[in-house]
Chain A
Amino acid sequence: MTYSSAVPSNGAGFAQVLHAEWTKLRSVRSTWICVGLTFGLTILLAYLAGSGNTTDANSFGPQRFFQAQLVHQSLTGDGSIVTHVASQEETGPDAKAGVMITGPVADPTSKTGLPASPPAYAAIMVTPGHGVQWQSDISHDAAGTTDPAPRWLKLTRAGSRITGYESPDGVTWTQVGTAEVTELPATARVGMFVSAPPTGVKAIRRSPTSIENSPDYTLSTAVFDSVRITGANGQPVSGSWQHVDTSGPPRELPHDSVAGSFTENAGRFTVSGAGDLGVQAPGSVGDNDVVRDTLSGILIGFIAMAVLAALYITSEFRRGIIRTTFTATPRRGRVLAAKSIVLAAVAFVTGVAAAVPAFLISQPLLRENGFAPPAYPKVSLTDGPVVRAVLGTGLVLALLAVLALALGALLRSSAAAITLVIAVVLVPLIIGPFLTLGGEAWLKRITPGAGMAIQQTRERWDDAIGPWAGIAVLSGWVAVVLIAAVVQLRRRDA
């Protein structure tokens, strides 16, 4: 005869454990005080971030840049220039190599870092990402074929009429663009140029409270051959080549400048340069993440949630209820799992419930304060990154709450658990500014606060880690502490 216990096996009982833990959480008054505080503080912080930020990003009009390494000769009257762009280094999709006709270029050494007002010019160029392009200072830009280098380019002048052509072989030519450049003097400069817009942002820390950043320019190098300048009479024009870097110093952070160069070897011209050429639309100056800035108040709300999470288990140890709990559910890991699930659910719902009004309250305030189109396109609650940030706010809060719970289970002291979890999340934010930018970025990558990256909705130069990678780091911390807590719970008497 076999004995069979009348006690139901534990496998069927997890739902009951969950229910028991939910009852314990919901029937304590302080739970709802903490949830209310998290909710309220997050929204309050969003209100502050909305009304305490202003920007003048939209007051900048379209800016015109004329920064390139230019290798030129003089050409009086009508004529043309033909060249073959043999190769072009791809530093980005908008690196430029081509031929140009321009009026006098201001002395670059007298510049102060502000974009100089460009001379009258017209240019045809090839770019790695968008093929052949036509540009002049007074007409709209035009696009040719999308073929990158190698490519043949030609520019002709007839009076003030400048026309640009492209060709795959130097024989059959296609017109790309044409313009009246009325301010062009009779004797103009014609030649090759190379330019490359910034590939990123370079930042330096001057002091704990001040960071300077500037565009990060990378030189692009192109090789030109078969260069031929022809005069009005159809005869080749020969002269000596001059070169000038029209961007001029200083457009870089101090002690670190990028200077273009030029060499000629048997009719092959190797030119390298960097800078912006053309019109930059307003809006490229504003780079605040208006969503993240207003949702990061969850870090403050988290303090109340951390108290709730730690007390959820430490109060059981303090009052001895944990012994009843473990008698009812002898598998201690399950108790912690049930607590984690219940707590994570409450925290997630709280986080999302706070993030939605936080977003809705702060965005109109920010728009009033200058964070408006075109510099700051309107963001909506249904945009993909915004959805990720809002749901992510709940996710981060849930993970941090479980971290506090696991620390509570591990240390069995609310004081220690609360202090530790607040310290590891908030202290890096306070001491980060004292470190180098690289050191601060590492701090943002490896501490549990990395999870806050989920609130990013646009790329910024100071992003330390991607949204999901940040969540992975935080999850790693939670997993490690949870495992340690389970091992501890099994070994130690309650």
Chain B
Amino acid sequence: MIVATRALHAEWTKARTVRSSGWLLVGITTLTLGLGALVAASVRFAGCAPPGGDCDVDATRIALSGVYVGQVAAVLFGVLVVSSEYATGTIRTTLTAVPRRWVTLVAKAVVVAGPVLLTAVLAVAGSLLVARAVLPANGFTPAHGYPALSIGDSATLRASVGTVLYLCLIALLSLGVALIVRNAGAAIATALSLLFVFPIVGTLVTEPRWREWLTEWAPMSAGLAVQATRGLDAMPVGPWQGLAVLTAYAGGALAVGGILLQVRDA
């Protein structure tokens, strides 16, 4: 237990004292908030602007859309906690100090997930507040069936909590990828590919079956299914099932990364 606490403390010190960590955490919040505000302020969907009436856009999803960019900072944060140690050779010191490698792995996961959780809460709360203020001007009014965004609404609450968890899971997935790939550049490219490639493939194919499959099993689109507050019946994957798919990705990456950490020379 003491070993675990000390390992955690050591990891925390390492993460805290690197300048990039702070910037990346600030980046998660500002990018999410900034893009979310930009999108919320600029959306003009036909039918939603007066004198519409057939609007079927998910306002909560619009409000939280900044996560598409914010997650990039989360990827970097998750990757760098591991790969910077491999780049500089610090990993050997770390593993000498804490020979039980899985303890190090758990400590790193906590040090990644904790701060991301906090910044994600800020990002999500801020995005909702901004959207709540801005969206009515774009036709999302109670008269059109869009009450002001509030976490009192259970679907919006689910979307908000889910988005916070999403960002944590993305950071953990990236941590796992970095344990497997080790090189920072390659790990970042791999993690970003996992997120962005599937949606782009989705735009290249029109076959409904393929698109459905891509939405169901791609880490990003499945994970962000948790943001949905409307049209749940039409979705190929439910909100929590989608987040579970992402959890499986993150868990799988961490497990493979953990095994490789055990069996490979550092």
- B221, chain A: closest CB distance, angstroms: 10
B250 at the interface (CB under 8 A from A): no
Known: A49-B205, A253-B46, A434-B62. A415 touches B69 (CB 8 A): no
Known: A53-B204, A54-B206. 9 other contacts (CB 8 A): A52-B205, A253-B46, A303-B193, A306-B189, A311-B185, A422-B188, A423-B72, A430-B200, A431-B68
A207 at the interface (CB under 8 A from B): yes
Smallest CB-CB A-B distances: 10 pairs: A52-B205, A204-B46, A414-B185, A49-B204, A415-B184, A52-B210, A426-B196, A434-B39, A52-B207, A307-B189
Residue of A nearest to B203 (CB): A429
A24 vs B89: C-alpha distance in the bound complex, in angstroms? 24
Contact indicator A422/B206 (Cβ below 8 Å) = no
A364 at the interface (CB under 8 A from B): no
A422 vs B203: C-alpha distance in the bound complex, in angstroms? 18
Q: Which of B156-192 contact A (CB under 8 A)?
A: 183-186, 188-189, 192
- A170, chain B: closest CB distance, angstroms: 49
Q: How many residues of B contact A (CB 8 A)?
A: 45
Known: A415-B184, A418-B189, A430-B68. A53 touches B35 (CB 8 A): no
Q: Which of A397-435 contact B (CB under 8 A)?
A: 414-415, 417-419, 422-423, 426-427, 429-431, 434-435
Residue of B nearest to A415 (CB): B184
A89 at the interface (CB under 8 A from B): no
Contacts of A53 in B (CB 8 A): 204-207
- B16, chain A: closest CB distance, angstroms: 19
B201 at the interface (CB under 8 A from A): yes
B47 at the interface (CB under 8 A from A): yes
Contact indicator A255/B201 (Cβ below 8 Å) = no
A307 vs B193: C-alpha distance in the bound complex, in angstroms? 12
Contacts of A429 in B (CB 8 A): 196, 199-200, 203
Contacts of A207 in B (CB 8 A): 45, 56-58
Known: A296-B204, A310-B185, A422-B196. A431 touches B76 (CB 8 A): no
Contact indicator B199/A430 (Cβ below 8 Å) = yes
A63 at the interface (CB under 8 A from B): no
- B37, chain A: closest CB distance, angstroms: 12
Selected contact of A48 from candidates B43, B45, B51, B204, CB within 8 Å: B204
Q: Which of B11-65 contact A (CB under 8 A)?
A: 35, 39, 42-47, 51-52, 54, 56-58, 61-62, 65
B128 at the interface (CB under 8 A from A): no
Sample of 13 A–B contacts (CB below 8 Å)? A52-B205, A54-B207, A206-B45, A207-B45, A300-B197, A300-B200, A414-B183, A415-B185, A418-B185, A426-B196, A426-B200, A434-B62, A436-B42
Q: How many A-B residue pairs have CB under 8 A?
A: 121
Known: A427-B69, A429-B203, A434-B39. A422 touches B192 (CB 8 A): yes
- A187, chain B: closest CB distance, angstroms: 43
Residue of B nearest to A422 (CB): B192
Stretch at the interface among B79-87, B99-107, B145-153: B79-87
Contact indicator A300/B184 (Cβ below 8 Å) = no
B237 at the interface (CB under 8 A from A): no
A297 at the interface (CB under 8 A from B): yes
Contact indicator A318/B87 (Cβ below 8 Å) = yes
Selected contact of B189 from candidates A206, A297, A422, CB within 8 Å: A422
Contacts of B205 in A (CB 8 A): 48-49, 52-53
B75 at the interface (CB under 8 A from A): yes
- A118, chain B: closest CB distance, angstroms: 31
A427 vs B197: C-alpha distance in the bound complex, in angstroms? 11
- B225, chain A: closest CB distance, angstroms: 13
Contact indicator A434/B210 (Cβ below 8 Å) = no
A439 at the interface (CB under 8 A from B): yes
Contacts of A296 in B (CB 8 A): 204
A447 vs B189: C-alpha distance in the bound complex, in angstroms? 20
- A358, chain B: closest CB distance, angstroms: 12
